């Protein structure tokens, strides 16, 4: 339009999951609403803002899923204009939020694509902006990047990681490491915490931060979580049969696993493996308890009724 460019910005909140885990989903939803309000007040009337979420559209915010926002920049004379907007939006989001009486500071990663330079249709622009945003995350978050063709390699790397992760369990690439739990007063070992690891024949030992969130995005975290639970219980039974009297094993549980069917799963695993309930400790984050208080408390009570121990992980963080 008038030889001007159109810019598409894809903005993703950095470490948004931590807000949900520590303060609960209600606080997370409130944060998303406040971020949307700040973005809406920081762009021109000729620009369009959308948020990917599942709830209904409100005013100039069209919600379609997740913690990502798209901003369409109309009538751009040059790329520097998009840079200025990205800096303005990032500063707006970086101002402290007040959630549940607690000050929260969050940053964002922004990918920018321009039409017709980077793509000529909406699908191409979205793909280019997503690639740029993914690279901004890889470079440390809290920054914006314009799309470049040489970024496609990173996109392909993520696609390959997704493909390989889906096959990791059936290929026996997942394994558990155990971290001793020690009584600080007596020095005695009171148990062991199970830590899942991914050993890939090409990638080597893939750090958890590279694939745990990805497993949640792909919807396979429940399958992995069940495997961890079964393996940890089986391993402790084997250790006891060999004469090692380890009191208990701890298993971390994702918020996505902690649903009504989780108690039945734990009960079935204990029965299948023969592990006494008191020898299993389920570690929950504080955020799980906050996000769905009534439902979480009910599940905890049912687990205790089985005789399973409960521990709160990352308390106060």
- pLDDT for 3 beyond 70: no
Residue 226 tokens read as 């069940």
Q: Whole-angstrom Cα distance, residue 45 to residue 48?
A: 8
- pLDDT for 302 beyond 80: yes
Q: Where are the alpha helices (DSSP H) in 41-78?
A: none
Q: Whole-angstrom Cα distance, residue 125 to residue 116?
A: 9
Least confident of 16-30, 215-229, 245-259: 16-30
Q: Whole-angstrom Cα distance, residue 216 to residue 193?
A: 21
pLDDT tens by residue, 57-108: 222 333 345 788 988 887 777 888 888 889 999 999 999 999 888 888 899 9
pLDDT tens by residue, 176-209: 999 999 999 999 999 999 999 999 999 999 988 8
Q: Whole-angstrom Cα distance, residue 311 to residue 248?
A: 12
- pLDDT for 281 beyond 80: yes
- Using a 10 angstrom Cβ sphere, with 0-12 exposed, 13-18 middle and 19 or more buried, the burial of residue 91 is exposed
Confidence category of residue 241, pLDDT binned at 50, 70, 90: very high
Place of tokens 């990502």: 68
CB 248 within 8 A of CB 191: yes
Tell me if 5-147 shares its fold with 161-313. Answer: no
Rg (CA), the chain: 23
Q: Whole-angstrom Cα distance, residue 265 to residue 303?
A: 11
Confidence category of residue 47, pLDDT binned at 50, 70, 90: low
User: What's the confidence (pLDDT) of residue 314?
Assistant: 56
- pLDDT for 141 beyond 90: no
CATH class of 5-147: alpha beta
For 143-197, the DSSP string reads -EEE--GGGHHHHHHHHHHHHHHHHHTTTT-EEEEEEEEE-TTT--EEEEEEEEE
Q: In the predicted model, what is the mean pLDDT of residues 265-274?
A: 97
User: What's the confidence (pLDDT) of residue 294?
Assistant: 62
Kindly report whether the global pTM for this prediction surpasses the value 0.75: no
Among 96, 204, 111, 92, CA closest to 152: 111
Q: Whole-angstrom Cα distance, residue 20 to residue 243?
A: 42
- pLDDT for 315 beyond 60: no
User: What's the confidence (pLDDT) of residue 14?
Assistant: 87
Residue 27 tokens read as 């606080």
- CATH dotted code for 161-313: 3.20.20.450
Q: In the predicted model, what is the mean pLDDT of residues 279-306?
A: 82
Between residues 261 and 228, the one the model is more confident about:
228
For the chain, what are the domain ranges?
Answer: 5-147, 161-313
CB 54 within 8 A of CB 63: yes
Q: Whole-angstrom Cα distance, residue 254 to residue 240?
A: 27
Residue 263 tokens read as 């108690």
CB 37 within 8 A of CB 58: no
Between residues 74 and 229, the one the model is more confident about:
229
Residue 96 tokens read as 């402290």
pLDDT tens by residue, 52-69: 543 332 223 333 457 889
């Amino acid at each position: 339009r008038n030889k001007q460019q159109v810019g598409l910005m894809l903005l993703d909140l950095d470490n948004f999951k931590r807000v949900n885990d520590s303060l609960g989903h209600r606080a997370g939803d409130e944060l998303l609403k406040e971020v949307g309000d700040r973005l809406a007040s920081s762009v021109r009337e000729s620009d369009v803002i959308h948020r990917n979420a599942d709830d209904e559209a409100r005013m100039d915010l069209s919600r379609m899923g997740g913690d990502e926002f798209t901003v369409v920049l109309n009538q751009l004379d040059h790329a520097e204009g998009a840079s200025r907007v990205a800096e303005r939006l990032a500063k707006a989001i970086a101002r402290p939020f007040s959630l549940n009486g607690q000050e929260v500071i969050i940053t964002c990663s922004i990918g920018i694509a321009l039409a017709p330079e980077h793509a000529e249709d909406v699908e191409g622009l979205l793909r280019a902006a997503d690639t740029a945003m993914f690279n901004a995350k890889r470079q440390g978050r809290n920054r914006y990047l314009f799309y470049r063709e040489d970024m496609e390699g990173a996109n392909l790397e993520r696609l390959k990681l997704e493909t390989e992760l889906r096959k990791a369990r059936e290929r026996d690439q997942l394994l558990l490491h155990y971290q001793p739990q020690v009584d600080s007063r007596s020095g005695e070992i009171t148990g062991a915490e199970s830590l899942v690891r991914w050993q890939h024949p090409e990638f080597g030992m893939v750090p958890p931060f590279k694939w745990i969130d990805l497993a949640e995005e792909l919807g396979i975290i429940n399958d992995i979580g069940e495997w961890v639970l079964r393996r940890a219980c089986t391993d402790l039974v084997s250790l006891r049969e060999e004469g090692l009297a380890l009191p208990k094993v701890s298993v971390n549980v994702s918020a996505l696993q902690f649903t009504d069917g989780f108690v039945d799963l734990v009960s079935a695993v204990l029965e299948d493996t023969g592990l006494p309930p008191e020898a299993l400790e389920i570690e929950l984050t504080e955020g799980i308890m906050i996000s769905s208080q009534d439902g979480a408390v009910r599940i905890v009570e049912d687990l205790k009724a089985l005789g399973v121990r409960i521990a709160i992980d990352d308390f106060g963080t």
